[in-house]
Amino acid sequence: MDPILIRGGRVIDPAQGIDRTADLLLAEGVVRGVYGRRAAAAGARVIEAEGMVVCPGFIDLHCHLREPGFEYKETIATGTLAAARGGFTAVCAMPNTEPVIDSRALVDFVLRKAREEASVRVMVIGAVTKGSKGAGLAEMAELAETGVVGFSDDGHPVADPNVMRQALSYSSSLGLPIINHCEAPELSAGGAANEGWVATRLGLKGIPNAAEEIMVARDISLAQTTGGRLHIAHASTAGTMDLVRQAKERGVNVTCEATPHHLTLSDEALLGQEAGGQAFSPLTGSAYDTNAKVAPPLRARSDVDAVVQALKDGVVDLIATDHAPHNQVEKLCTFEEAASGISVLETALGSLMSLVHTMDLPLPLLIDRLTAAPARFLGVELGTLKPGATADVTIFDPDAEWVVDASTFASKGKNTPLDGTTLKGQVVATIVGGVVKYEEANAASAE
């Protein structure tokens, strides 16, 4: 493991309040320091980073690696390679696999496969209920002993309020969060898109904002009652932002995440790229794009703006991808029949940088929500470039433009509504434990 000197980049480490042009030295798997100017040691590799951003490796709290059981959609090997290409050095795998990750044996399986095949660090989230069926609780203490970082039935809301209350009460003694997919099944059943003018225009049954907000309100009340630690997955509506903001002001132990797509895309994406969000423009062949079907659905532009503002205000605690790869068969069908989910890991940075370039989101704030914030949430010693920290580093060009070509994704999931669009902001290199795991072909380096 040769030393690596990353020279002349804009080093941003929100955990230390660093934002300046500097050199970063890595050696023996850890950060040695951030320097004004540092000579390269003998045998060190030098990465020229002038004009680039150098920051801690991104951490994804919420992704679907699909293994075991759905290897035709994704594997630990392909999913973590996609993560490395997206600048992520650590990911948390959701448990909605087949079988569901609700036992010690299955957690051990995922962690073993990750040690053998993963390009980045993999942490595991265990199921809240047995088989994620929403009835009896999983063996949460046993799962905690195996090292899970939280509990979720993601993809299946914990609909029974008494089960949710028990989960919050029990998990509080373990010091781990309950991560709920907040969606009232009675309101979302049969829906395919956000309830609004776009769904009406397309003749699709809508899912109202209330489907999310009713369950968010319920869970916040239960967290306040139990003292449990609640995390709202993929928050997507203005009402949810208000509920979380008010709960935090009351001292409730609640956090929430937003995804790149809910921060940057509205339900107008369902009309097709050529329609340009015009209500009465002729629909083209790119309308009804099933790659834009996701749960919760892409919301109205007003909701997107509210979630972005909440990110700026600190109501949204972190950004997580909800990377949900599917194969073509599950997307090449009618919109109603299509599986919900977007392949996100490889486009996350490019789409999020639009918030910096066009919506005045401070770059250090964006990096905080991708690095230091998820590290704090997980309680892990990652997400920083302080001396002695694990040498997990992401280097990206904030101004590089590139065209999304889903056919070249490392992920098996090619399902993205961004295919063919131009993004501004590209990962140049991803370093995990002092080892370069991904490097863009044109990256400048020297020995």
CA distance 159 to 134: 7
Q: What is the mean pLDDT of residues 124-128?
A: 98
Task: Out of 3.20.20.140, 3.10.20.30, 1.20.210.10, 1.10.3210.10, select the CATH number for domain 57-384+399-421.
Answer: 3.20.20.140
CA distance 274 to 279: 12
Cα-Cα-Cα-Cα dihedral sign, residues 280, 284, 290, 291:
negative
Q: Which of 322, 392, 397, 419 is catalytic?
A: 322
Cβ-Cβ contacts under 8 Å for 419 (sequence gap 6 or more)? 291, 404, 405, 406
Nearest-angstrom CA–CA distance, 232 and 278? 32
d(CA 51, CA 66): 37
Q: How confident is the model at residue 1 (pLDDT cuts 50, 70, 90)?
A: confident
Around Cβ 203, how many Cβ atoms within 10 Å? Answer: 9
Find how far residue 382's CA is from the centre of its chain. Answer: 16
Predicted TM-score of the model (pTM): 0.96
pLDDT at res. 277: 52
The DSSP call for residue 379 is T
**pLDDT for the residue numbered 260:** 98
In the predicted structure, residue 447 carries a pLDDT above the cut 60? no
Closest CA to 120 of 31, 55, 60: 60
Burial (CB < 10 A; 0-12, 13-18, 19+), residue 36, is exposed
Q: What is the pLDDT of residues 347-392, one digit of tens each?
A: 999 999 999 999 999 999 999 999 999 999 999 999 999 999 999 9
Ranges of each domain in the chain? 57-384+399-421
pLDDT number for residue 43: 81
Spatial neighbors of 442 by CB under 8 A, at least 6 apart, are: none
Q: Is the pLDDT of residue 17 over 90?
A: yes
Spatial distance between the Cα atoms of 300 and 68, rounded to a whole number of angstroms: 35
Residue 229 pLDDT more than 80? Answer: yes
For 299-353, the pLDDT digits (tens) are 999 999 999 999 999 999 999 999 999 999 999 999 999 999 999 999 999 999 9
The whole-chain average pLDDT of the chain stands at: 95
Q: What pLDDT is stored for residue 264 in this prediction?
A: 98
What is the Cα–Cα distance from 369 to 354, expressed in whole angstroms?
15
pLDDT of res. 320: 98
Q: pLDDT band at residue 147, thresholds of 50, 70 and 90? A: very high
pLDDT band at 425, cuts 50/70/90? Answer: very high
The reported pLDDT for the residue numbered 343 is 98
Whether 102 is catalytic is no
